[in-house]
Amino acid sequence: MSSQPDNASLSALDLFSVDGLVAFITGAGTGIGLMFAKALVKNGAAKVYVAGRRLEVLEKAASSVGPNVIPVQCDVTSKESLREAVKLVEKDSGYLNLLICNSGITGPSAPAVTSETTLEEWADGNFSRDVNEYVDTFAVNTVAVWYTTMAFLKLLGQGNEKKNVTQQSQVVITSSIAGFNKTSTAGWAYGQSKTAAILASKQLATALPRWNIRANCIAPGIFPSEMTEFAIQQYRGEAGGYGVVPTTMIPLGRLGEEADMAGTILPGRRTSEHVSIDQLEGLQYGKGYRGCRVGAYKDAKQQGPQLRPRGWAKDNVELSKTWSLIEQNEHHHILVPTHPRRREVQNLGMSVRKKSARPQPTDVLVVNRSGIRPVMIRLLKQGVAKRCLRIPDTISGDRDTA
């Protein structure tokens, strides 16, 4: 690895700076969206637009944070409403640096299942759910993510031209850990729609870099919000106390907090300057892969369904080294997990070298896809990366370095 040209770039104030940033957040009147707004404003963002359907809730949220927060009444399922929101931002600021697609609804609940439930009862219980309610869940949690992004892309492009911040413009999509859950903890429609949102983020992360716009996705666990209040009260009775969650549900035994969510959005600015990754899994407490357990995949399976195999890594030392490289060096690039023969992988060397803002090869190219070693070697030979290091595969546990 090359040495940093300037120690100032290692300053926490610089690494996590959002000074001068202009952001637009949907679903920001309460819950996670409001947590994002608070984190950005309290760390120097110039202006944060908080959007949602209930104007009175937005106005209350804005007044609780500060004058830099502007409430915008907007229905993300309406193209006309999105157009009006874009016009407002265009007239008021003229550009955006960050778009956070955070709106979401739970949708229909899943029918209760007991040891006595028959197949017919289970099928009838699911079939009885209202179709429109099911479809509406996708309309808000998935379709609106796509159309909201399309509506604001022009302003994000203008944010790059404005150069008011050092980072490229970015789209952040709030999915959910339910998008990886094979059970119906939050309802079938909710989990399925959040999985679809994750795929949308992958597609955007592949399509948008040609215009210097990044796309990232976070998958939070349970955080205090209107949507999760019922579950929180249920766990309160089971575990004894507000904010306490059974360890069978969350190993740390607690809900996420504002500081945890702030820890996901602030590092996404400078430290991810050259990163467009599909999703940050396991962000129950803003720790990402740093919460990985050590052990073999077979051990994870033996521990029971509450421990997801994705949370296991083979080599904790190598994992720590990987995170050290990622967090200390802004000239890295994380390759999204995808098939090695996909076009974005084959063209990575060309696309990286075209970036005039990057005069030197990427210091570290971090990938996390097994079977990708030939691609790593080719990128080294092309001079794209000085070193390649693959994150330990959190499912199989194998590892490649080059």
What is the 3 state secondary structure string of 279-347?
CECCCCCCCHHHHCEECCHHHHHHCCCCCCHHHEECCHHHHHHHHHHHHHCCCEEEECCCCCCCHHHHC
Q: Cβ contacts of residue 110 below 8 Å, gap of 6+? A: 125, 126, 184, 187, 188
DSSP 8-state code for residue 140: I
Tokens coding 276: 């467009």
Q: Which residues of 373-399 are buried (b: 16+ CB within 10 A; e: fewer)?
A: bebbebbbeeebbebbbbbbbbeebeb
Other beta carbons within 10 angstroms of residue 55's beta carbon come to 13
- Active site annotation includes 190: yes
CA-CA distance, 205 to 91, in Å (whole number)?
Answer: 28
Q: Cβ contacts of residue 124 below 8 Å, gap of 6+? A: none
Among candidate residues 93, 175, 193, 201, the one labeled active-site is 175
- Active site annotation includes 147: no
DSSP 8-state code for residue 139: I
Among candidate residues 38, 47, 194, 202, the one labeled active-site is 194
- Active site annotation includes 321: no
CA-CA distance, 58 to 336, in Å (whole number)?
Answer: 35
Q: Cβ contacts of residue 313 below 8 Å, gap of 6+? A: 289, 292, 293, 294, 319, 392, 394, 397
Tokens coding 140: 């808000």
Among candidate residues 49, 190, 235, 285, the one labeled active-site is 190
DSSP letters, 179-213, are: GG-SS-TT-HHHHHHHHHHHHHHHHHHHHGGGGTE
Residues taking part in catalysis:
175, 190, 194
